[in-house]
Amino acid sequence: MEPLRWAWASRRAVAILAAVIVLLVGLAVRKWTGGAFAKYAGVALYGSLIYTLVVAIAPRLAPWRAAAVALGFCWAIEFGQLSSIPASLSKRSMLARLVLGSTFNAPDLFGYAVGIAPMAWGNKVLRRNPS
């Protein structure tokens, strides 16, 4: 495999592994904590998960571009909650509730960035030092 192609495949594999870890941590937080901590940790972890999925889909993207795509996606989901559609779908499906949420909450917009920023920074560090 060509070196550059190998790097992209490797980034994709690391991103998928990171997504699985973030998902497991998110489920653990949801199960074993509660209140404001669980709410905002969940929001940040959702942002982290979306970032890892963006990198898995497009491993060539620069870390900060991937962060912008992930943040835009998260914000689109959050602003979509201003309509009645996510709440309606969330009543019917646990998966829809986990992915789409149900109620707009402005502080979540910042929470997504809190979850995405360290992932983008870590991605940048790993790309600089691939050893």
The answer to whether 90 and 102 have CB atoms below 8 angstroms apart is yes
pLDDT in tens, the chain (131 residues): 455 555 667 889 999 999 999 999 999 998 999 999 999 999 999 999 999 999 999 999 999 999 999 999 999 999 999 998 888 888 888 888 888 888 899 999 999 999 999 999 999 988 876 55
The answer to whether 50 and 73 have CB atoms below 8 angstroms apart is yes
**Non-local CB neighbours of 123 within 8 Å, separated by 6+ positions:** 11, 51, 55, 63, 66
Backbone angles phi, psi at 61, to 5 degrees: -60, 140
The DSSP result for 35-70, as a single string, is HHHHHHHHHHHHHHHHHHHHHHH-TTS-HHHHHHHH
